[in-house]
């Protein structure tokens, strides 16, 4: 009996060792490339480290105090939230509408999904150059088009102010990310058993009624996960803003991602090199993102429908 | 059987891990062969990169030294920062190149580079008995010196800033090239009356936004006072000429001398607008003809004139001189690195560079076509300073306070008086 127990225990230990052997490489890489830098960023956020050399003086809460009185930090945070809300409304409203149309009325569904996903295949650099030339105040295609159709009074310096600049960035962001979220929602819809739709049709329900009474509640979980993903991704926004405005004019279109980069490095002709302060902003961004996602998940938590 | 498979898998994983670790630490060298690692400011495919590749290939062939070149692009020093932060000296380059002001800013703050005066004096220029040091234009060379007076970087080109103008447009409309600020304003008025935008200006391109005001201050107040104001040692309101320079900028905005919707113009749209005949003038560095080479119509004639001075200024005034400079890192084999840099200054390579309309920093360098006026401008200068009055050395202040407030002034969001008041308040707050 005792021998049997020992054999079982040995087998258990070997199994654990076997599991550990497989997990170790991934865990090791995660530890080195994510956990360690993340913890180190917190340490750096309390220093004045430039990013060069090894000398970094501990400066207590100075960086955090500076951040709270930094006007551009609040502008960046405001812009990040504006993008999150404005872009989120556009992305999810359009994604739901297009998902509804594609699943109900379109024959070549894959073609349209690929079409919407197409912007994701273009590099951000090329994409932003394209949009800068559309929105540019002097040479912009948009202004030329407005003038061509007699609407010159609406031609303006689109990227020349916070309001219109962030509006343009939000539209470009929504255009870019729409395809990804559309595919998520479309996939969720196609997972719903046909029998539920057939029963509803038998009962004489319209497409719209089916969408709101069956489709929408059944994709709720995935939809909310997609929104949480959007919250995180939108708060990390960088490439579109850096490519289109670099946070200008007068720092009015910075978002958290670009402002962190700007403080860490600056621009190639005028370096700032304040990795300490940039880490402080990054820590703040992690806290803000965590609070936003947690609050969202709590607010939208509800009973899961099984099907 | 199962146990054997498990053991084999575990062994394989272990071997893979070890192999990956071993490859991380492997040397890229092969025995005694000499190597130079060069991180470049250029991107692959740019005309200057292609030009550089020619002498890199020739140097490797001629000397047997291997050049490990990485085309990092404009963020080369940011990549250097990351490499230094990673703590591995093996990953560091021997040579980098960047604008002299940024190289020197890094030298001042972190002392990364090797002093070069003595080494350059001891080294003969390739194929000549002249010391390598002596082949350079003194002004260009001096722009590579840090505040300790030592030379830390070597000029690859020699730019200045100037007002570019459309020669045909001036001639066809009977407009004379201005030499003073009042004449310049008259010229602007004439073009405005003709329905032509006098000046193309980038409203959201941070690099060019403050340039007009900086040049005005360099001329009216002097570089030292301008820098002292940026360090918070002199109040912006303490010298009335800061205000006068701001009033000049306000006049450009209020009189509508910039192209329509310039507030939302991002590089390179304004310069293309200018070279397409939309505007009469564009203020920029003398890299512009090279940068616009592919966009410039064949029959387009451009020329430059010096930033116009007020009648009561000391004339001739200060002119900006800068370029992209080579720098050798402290831990590098400086002699070998310098030998490679020296090689690139042979006449055939330098002439080929001038043919790309890039002004040479050499005393007997071939003049770049269309930029002949640069020599006159610099020959007439009372003194020289670095680009943007070398204010980029105050990186954080320069971007967050200085450029930001000038941006508001140039967008017409504040008056000259409000600008000076804001500069005083923000500067005091910054250095508090």
Residues 59..78 of B with a Cβ closer than 8 Å to A: which? 74-75, 77-78
Q: What are the tokens at B71?
A: 């085309």
A80 and A192, same domain (yes or no): yes
DSSP helix, strand, coil percent of chain B (3-state; round to 5): 50, 15, 35
**Nearest residue in B to A25, CA atom:** B17
Which residue ranges form the domains of chain B, and what is each CATH number? 35-158+323-372 (3.40.190.10), 161-321+387-430 (3.40.190.10)
A88 and A214, same domain (yes or no): yes
Show residues of chain B in contact with A18, CB under 8 Å.
6, 10
Quick check: is A108 in a domain? yes
Quick check: is A46 in a domain? no
Q: What are the tokens at B200?
A: 């193309």
Secondary structure class of B228 (helix, strand, coil)? helix
A26 and A169, same domain (yes or no): no
Q: What angle do CA A3, A5, A9 make, to 5 degrees?
A: 115
Task: List the beta bridge partners of residue B40.
Answer: B71
pLDDT digits (tens, 9 = 90+) for A59-103: 999 999 999 999 999 999 999 999 999 999 999 999 999 998 998
Give me the domain span that covers residue A9.
Answer: 1-38
A205 and A160, same domain (yes or no): yes
pLDDT digits (tens, 9 = 90+) for A244-266: 999 989 999 999 999 999 998 88
* Mean pLDDT within B302-329: 88
Quick check: is A305 in a domain? no
Asked if A160 lies within 8 A of B112 by C-beta distance, the reply is no
A163 and A26, same domain (yes or no): no
Domain CATH number, residue A218: 1.10.3720.10
Taking the CA atoms of residue B346, residue B350, residue B352 and residue B355 in that order, the dihedral angle to the nearest 10 degrees is: -160
Contacting residues for B18 by C-beta, under 8 A, at least 6 apart: none
The burial of A239, by beta-carbon neighbours within 10 Å (0-12 exposed, 13-18 middle, 19 or more buried), is given as: middle
Q: What angle do CA B422, B424, B425 make, to 5 degrees?
A: 65
A279 and A150, same domain (yes or no): yes
Q: How far is CA A100 from the centre of its chain?
A: 23
Specify the DSSP element, H or E, that contains B302: strand B302-305
Show residues of chain A in contact with B101, CB under 8 Å.
269
A24 and A105, same domain (yes or no): no
Asked if A138 lies within 8 A of B260 by C-beta distance, the reply is yes
A79 and A8, same domain (yes or no): no
Q: Best mutation site among A138, A144, A261, A265 for testing chain B: the one with the most B CBs within 10 Å? A: A138
What angle separates helix A275-300 from helix A216-235, to the nearest 10 degrees? 170
Asked if A265 lies within 8 A of B81 by C-beta distance, the reply is yes
Evaluate whether B305 touches B162 at the Cβ level (below 8 Å). yes
Tens-digit pLDDT string for chain A (307 aa): 667 777 778 888 888 888 888 899 999 999 988 899 889 999 999 999 887 766 778 999 999 999 999 999 999 999 999 999 999 999 999 999 999 899 888 888 889 899 899 998 888 888 898 999 899 988 889 999 999 999 989 999 999 999 999 999 999 999 999 999 999 999 999 999 989 999 999 999 988 899 889 999 999 999 999 999 999 999 999 999 999 999 989 999 999 999 999 998 887 777 778 889 999 999 999 999 999 999 999 998 877 777 7
Terminal Cα-to-Cα distance of chain A (whole angstroms): 47
DSSP B241-266: HHHHHHHHHHHHHHTT-BPTTGGG--
A66 and A34, same domain (yes or no): no
A30 and A117, same domain (yes or no): no
A23 and A67, same domain (yes or no): no
Number of folded domains in chain A? 2
Identity of the residue in A246, A249, A271 whose CB atom sits nearest the CB atom of B203: A249
Quick check: is A48 in a domain? no
A113 and A156, same domain (yes or no): yes
Identity of the residue in B17, B270, B398 whose CB atom sits nearest the CB atom of A138: B270
Q: Best mutation site among B104, B109, B204 for testing chain A: the one with the most A CBs within 10 Å? A: B204
- Give the C-alpha separation, B44 to A192, whole Å: 50
């Amino acid at each position: 009996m005792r021998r049997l127990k020992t054999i079982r225990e040995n087998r258990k230990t070997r199994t654990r060792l076997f599991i550990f052997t497989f997990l170790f490489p991934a865990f090791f890489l995660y530890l080195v490339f994510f956990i360690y830098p993340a913890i180190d960023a917190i340490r750096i956020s309390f220093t004045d480290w430039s990013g060069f050399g090894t000398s970094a003086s501990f400066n207590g809460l100075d960086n955090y105090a500076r951040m709270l009185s930094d006007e551009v930090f609040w502008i960046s945070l405001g812009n990040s939230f504006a993008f999150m809300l404005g872009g989120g409304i556009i992305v999810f409203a359009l994604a739901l509408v297009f998902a509804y149309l594609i699943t109900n009325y379109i024959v070549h569904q894959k073609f349209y999904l690929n079409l919407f996903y197409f912007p994701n295949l273009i590099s951000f650099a090329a994409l932003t150059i394209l949009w800068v030339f559309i929105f540019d105040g002097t040479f912009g295609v948009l202004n030329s088009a407005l003038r061509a159709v007699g609407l010159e009074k609406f031609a303006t310096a689109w990227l020349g102010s916070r309001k219109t600049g962030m509006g343009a960035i939000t539209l470009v962001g929504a255009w870019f990310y729409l395809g990804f979220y559309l595919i998520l929602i479309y996939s969720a819809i196609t997972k719903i058993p046909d029998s539920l739709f057939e029963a509803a049709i038998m009962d004489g329900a319209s497409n719209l009624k089916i969408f709101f009474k069956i489709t929408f509640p059944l994709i709720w979980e995935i939809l909310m996960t997609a929104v949480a993903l959007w919250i995180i991704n939108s708060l990390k926004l960088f490439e579109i803003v850096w490519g289109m405005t670099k946070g200008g004019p007068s720092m009015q279109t910075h978002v958290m991602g670009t402002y962190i980069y700007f403080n860490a490095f600056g621009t190639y002709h005028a370096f700032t090199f304040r990795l300490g302060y940039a880490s402080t902003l990054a820590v703040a961004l992690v806290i803000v993102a965590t609070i936003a996602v947690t609050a969202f998940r709590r607010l939208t938590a509800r009973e899961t429908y099984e099907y | 059987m199962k146990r054997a498979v498990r053991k084999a898998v575990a062994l394989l994983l272990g071997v893979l891990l070890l192999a990956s670790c071993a490859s991380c630490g492997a040397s890229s060298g092969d025995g005694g062969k000499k190597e130079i690692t060069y991180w470049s400011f250029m991107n692959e495919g740019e005309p200057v990169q292609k030009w550089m590749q020619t002498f890199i290939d020739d140097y490797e062939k001629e000397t047997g030294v291997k050049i490990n070149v990485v085309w990092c692009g404009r963020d080369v020093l940011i990549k250097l920062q990351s490499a230094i932060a990673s703590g591995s000296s093996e990953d560091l380059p021997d040579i980098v190149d960047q604008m002299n002001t940024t190289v020197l800013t890094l030298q001042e703050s972190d002392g990364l580079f090797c002093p070069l005066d003595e080494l350059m004096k001891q080294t003969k220029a390739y194929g000549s008995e002249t010391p390598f040091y002596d082949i350079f234009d003194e002004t260009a060379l001096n722009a590579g010196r840090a505040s300790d007076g030592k030379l830390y970087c070597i000029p690859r080109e020699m730019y200045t800033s100037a007002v570019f103008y459309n020669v045909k447009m001036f001639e066809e409309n009977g407009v004379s090239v201005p030499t003073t600020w009042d004449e310049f304003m008259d010229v602007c008025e004439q073009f405005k009356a003709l329905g032509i935008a006098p000046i193309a200006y980038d409203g959201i391109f941070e690099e060019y936004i403050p340039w007009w005001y900086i040049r005005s201050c360099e001329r009216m107040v002097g570089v030292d006072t301008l820098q002292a104001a940026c360090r918070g040692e002199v109040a912006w309101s303490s010298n009335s000429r800061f205000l006068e320079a701001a009033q000049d900028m306000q006049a450009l905005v209020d009189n509508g001398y910039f192209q329509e919707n310039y507030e939302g113009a991002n590089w390179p749209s304004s310069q293309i607008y200018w070279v397409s005949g939309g505007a009469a003038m564009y203020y920029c560095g003398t890299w512009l003809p090279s940068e616009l080479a592919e966009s410039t119509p064949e029959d387009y004639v451009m020329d430059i004139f010096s930033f116009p001075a007020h009648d009561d200024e000391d004339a001739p005034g200060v002119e900006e001189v800068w370029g992209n400079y080579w720098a050798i890192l402290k831990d590098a084999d400086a002699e070998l690195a310098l030998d490679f840099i020296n090689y690139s200054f042979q006449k055939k390579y330098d002439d080929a560079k001038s043919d790309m309309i890039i002004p040479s920093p050499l005393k007997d360098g071939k003049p770049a076509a269309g930029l002949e006026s640069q020599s006159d401008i610099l020959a007439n200068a009372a003194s020289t300073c670095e680009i943007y009055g070398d204010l980029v050395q105050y990186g954080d202040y320069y971007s967050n306070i200085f450029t930001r407030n000038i941006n508001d002034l140039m967008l017409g969001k504040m008056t000259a008086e409000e600008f000076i008041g804001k500069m005083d308040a923000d500067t005091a707050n910054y250095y508090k």
